[in-house]
Amino acid sequence: MTTAVALTPQFTALDRCDRCGAQAYVRVELLSGGELLFCAHHAREHADKLQAVASSIHDDSGRLTGTPKSATTEER
């Protein structure tokens, strides 16, 4: 038995917000077939409109709230 899994590509530092150029954390796949990338700020600002035109939304902005792996105990 073969199972295919569609994986959403991970965001990199090269993925930039289509609105302002900041690092992207949200990928919106459009019903029309294209895709848009947004920073967390602009994804929240336009969330209602994006949901109306999106076939899927991949939100990785939760990465922004964690403690950096290289943080020392005093920095946490």
Domain spans of the chain? 14-61
Provide the whole-model pTM: 0.74
Give the DSSP per-residue string, the chain. Answer: -----PPPPPP-TT-B-TTT-SBP-EEEEETTS-EEEE-HHHHHHTHHHHHHHEEEEEE-GGGGGSPPTT--TTT-
Instruction: Dump pLDDT digits (tens) for 12-55.
Output: 999 999 999 999 999 999 999 999 999 999 999 999 999 999 99
Tens-digit pLDDT profile for residues 55-65: 999 999 988 88
